[in-house]
Amino acid sequence: MVKSLILTGFGINCEIEMGAAYKKSGADVNIVHFNDILNGKYNLQGFDILNFPGGFSFGDDIASGKVMANKIKFKKMSNGNTFIEEIMDFIKNGKYILGVCNGFQILTQLGLLPHLQGNLEPEIALIHNDSQKFEDRWVYCKINQNNNSPFLKNIDILPLPVRHGEGKVVFKSTKVKEQLLKNQQVALQYCDKEGNVTDRYPVNPNGSALGIAGITDSTGQILGLMPHPEAFLSFYNHPNWPQMKKNGNILERKKTGQVIFDNIVSTIQKNKKILK
């Protein structure tokens, strides 16, 4: 069975929804407080996928995700390693990582996304929305068909809710922007209902460069995105479901956020069969 590790604690608050998504996909779910990782109660290497859910880790002090990222980078675990060292081994072993909203912010602060230079220096940042307010509504996301991530296979346009105040992607340099595009690491972009990508508000909720809603590392093993797929696990989660149902427009499972979790669990299951 696919084993999913979902971190919680210190202000993370979307772990239950993420756990529900993995359970619906047939995975074994372990929701674990970060302190229990540090004290050695759980071994990351025994899992197939590591998840950083949304929330407000450490109240978004300094910058969203920064304090949690520093704890992961510098706090020693009971075995003497830092958690980032464990994560790097996890990635080298072909495992997967998903970060949503605050989780995406943590991954960028850690330097795991986009991870262009192979070090742990941040190359992009997620800063305050252009609207200067917290955006809590639904958007459309266009998936890059040339991106190699198994999380996103066979998806074209996906409606998802956003709930963030700091989601605007900015680049450390023009070189970072160019390399992201060249590598096809821009995974999701904000778009209108017809799939036209834009950086204009309100279709783009934060003013993110290139309309970026999510990116991957070059391997496709790590995905970070601002919208919340775990908040759209059923047609009945959609705010307009009564009217859609009345019109006979009931969305299939593969047209909801559940598809991202189905995709990665299916991929890991196939990999396990090949290794047997």
Mark whether 101 is an active-site residue. yes
* CA 182 from centroid of its chain's CA atoms: 21
Catalytic residue among 101, 135, 141, 164: 101
Mark whether 17 is an active-site residue. no
Residue 157 · residue 118 · CB < 8 Å: no
Mark whether 228 is an active-site residue. yes
Residue 149 · residue 114 · CB < 8 Å: no
Catalytic residue among 115, 123, 230, 238: 230
Catalytic residue among 115, 164, 228, 238: 228
Residue 41 · residue 51 · CB < 8 Å: no
Across-strand partners of 186? 215
| CA atoms of 155 and 227, how far apart (whole Å) | 15
| CA atoms of 169 and 146, how far apart (whole Å) | 20
Residue 181 · residue 140 · CB < 8 Å: no
Per DSSP, the three-state class of 147 is coil
Neighbours of 268 (CB within 10 A): 22
- Catalytic sites, residue numbers: 101, 228, 230
